[in-house]
Chains A and B, each alone.
Chain A
């Protein structure tokens, strides 16, 4: 199976120190990979680099044939192919506060894919229902519980049907039952042929649901790259 995400010799300097040096790994379709390690080792930074939100200093990142090189972040117009390949679920979800759950999901469908409102709402409703939050479509983000907000955020990230889904600390705000629900959902997404890269320090969750874990060594002295 070919790699969906390939990272070669990634180097990121932060505060004039090497935060990440010479990191290489790959994520294949249908695979859940957990990035492990204590806080501050650069897990979130790696997700941000792959999502095209952060520049890096050396190496190469290839997402489904789209390559990112070292140096400043390219213009948004050049990153358009990447946006269709990568979905990101932020740790605090970052749902759009001024839009309902449904409109959070339809936003990209309507304004990036150019779908009509009924078309976009049909698809968004389906996505929300698949993630068990169909009944919360009309709710505002702050009316949602942590677990609900996370699932709306997953639905939003999946709206453009990206093959690669990145999640930052997905279990941070979940109780045991919700963690199991999330794990099942992620497995289902992987079975649909997506690759998932999770930044987490939840070893138990990684052991139960990830196919593979990549443990980042603590970079002395620790630096918080968030």
Chain B
């Protein structure tokens, strides 16, 4: 009883904490992504409930300078920092946030406080052959999605035929580079250096030439420009008094270019704005929307192809599982039941990671194939249960009639039971297919750019979810509604056969 009471109390406490997260009255609430986030933001190994990193210290320095009370950290997915700050989840986004023209247009952005170089990492064996993006024609180059580096790769795709591969995090691109899934990774130099260190300084090398120069900034909601100006003042002060340099030195990311950046920023008359590595101004919204339509169409094609192939696999494996569960000997029945329960009882996301990354040592599946296998094998478990239920729903006299006619059990299954069960299975199968269509969005975590991922990239780049979200919803509906209608028609037709 006490245990239950404590558990309820604990749950209430957590719920209260989540609900009061918006209370920003005293502390400087700032958002960042601690997932694989060193040296920017990471969970402190000594006390994983707190975070550490140079951005953590920059936030603390800003809070101190503002005399605002302590800095309080809020975890947010890196690609959602802009949307979250605009929603008011926190006042300041800091986590290796890049200075881009789009971001400057959409939000209030601080002056740049760190200069980074976009650098290429290639496998050690390739360092003599690959000197820059030009040498990567037709090769797969990975990076973090919705970054300057990704934009660089997209423009290089058109000019040099590179194949850009987008990731949701900055750890797996290097793992895939070493594993041979990628030929190069383009990312910020401190991310590359950290990855190299994590890899024991082997497996790949960082090319010395920078593909572009960029800057980290803090991002605030558009309406918070007054707070932004105060933060800029604190940052200037921190550059002047050496406290920012100390932070960077502590985290071993200080170099000469930072000193030069500080000088430029502190020069009288210097504005906050700096060049971003990405060229081109922000185009007007309608033409940007049009520019994204081809890639949305391509991504919708990926979603559709992946869904159809996965469903085909799910149906085949599901039939085998259901037959095994209904007709197989005891060991097979135990195996199929175990498989079904295991797959249905664990998240699809976990299965995707296991198949793509976990099995990489045994079998190195290409991303699309891994996505197909993971979705197919996952849905097979659900299909198997649908088929089992449908097979069991066929009335017993139908089977007995088959027996009295001298049909074998296999013939009864093939000629009597399965065709009748198919009618019962049609409606739930359609529901599953529509669900699969939507679940296919999860595969973006293993670098497959499908519709939702493309929409997220689009939304991040234009800084709004309204148009991209609507377009994406329309495309999903355009794919799923005809399927539902087709299934209803099939059901009606088959119903007509027997009514």
Contact = CB atoms under 8 A, between A and B. Distances in A.
Interface of A: 51-53, 76-77, 79-80, 83-84, 86-88, 90, 92, 94-98, 107-108, 111-112, 140-143, 156-157, 159-160
B416 interface: yes
B191 to A, nearest CB: 60
16 contacts: A52-B404, A80-B406, A83-B403, A83-B405, A87-B404, A90-B401, A94-B397, A94-B398, A94-B400, A96-B398, A98-B416, A98-B497, A98-B498, A107-B407, A108-B406, A156-B401
B499 A84 contact: no
Nearest to A81: B406
A98 B423 contact: yes
Contact of A107 (B395, B409, B415, B498): B415
A108 B407 contact: yes
Given A98-B419, A98-B420, A111 B403 contact: no
Interface string B399-425: 011111111110100011001100100
Contact of A86 (B401, B404, B411, B416): B404
A84 B404 CA distance: 9
A94 B404 CA distance: 11
B405 A160 contact: yes
A120 B409 CA distance: 21
Interface residues of B toward A: which range? 20 to 34
Contacts of B403: 52-53, 76, 79, 83
Given A94-B398, A98-B419, 6 more contacts: A53-B404, A90-B397, A90-B401, A97-B398, A97-B498, A140-B499
A226 B279 CA distance: 82
Chain B binding surface, main DSSP class: helix
Interface of B: 395, 397-398, 400-409, 411, 415-416, 419-420, 423, 497-499
A83 B408 CA distance: 11
Contacts of A96: 398, 401-402, 416, 420
Contacts of B419: 98
A31 to B, nearest CB: 21
Contact of A111 (B398, B401, B411, B497): B411
B494 to A, nearest CB: 8
A94 B405 contact: no
Nearest 9 A-B pairs (CB), nearest first? A83-B406, A94-B397, A108-B405, A94-B401, A112-B406, A88-B404, A98-B419, A97-B498, A142-B498
A76 B416 contact: no
Contacts of A95: 401
Contacts of A142: 498-499
Contacts of B498: 97-98, 140-142
B412 to A, nearest CB: 9
Contacts of A140: 497-499
A111 B420 CA distance: 18
Given A98-B497, A140-B497, A142-B499, A53 B408 contact: no
B419 to A, nearest CB: 5
A52 B406 CA distance: 11
A53 B406 CA distance: 12
Contacts of A92: 397
B397 A84 contact: no
A87 B405 CA distance: 7
B234 to A, nearest CB: 76
Among A80, A86, A108, A143, the one with the most B-chain Cβ atoms within 10 Å of its Cβ is A108
Contacts of B402: 96
A5 to B, nearest CB: 15
B408 A77 contact: yes
Contacts of A143: 499
Among A76, A79, A98, the one with the most B-chain Cβ atoms within 10 Å of its Cβ is A98
Contacts of A141: 498
A1 B277 CA distance: 104
B405 A156 contact: yes
Contacts of A52: 403-404
B248 to A, nearest CB: 74
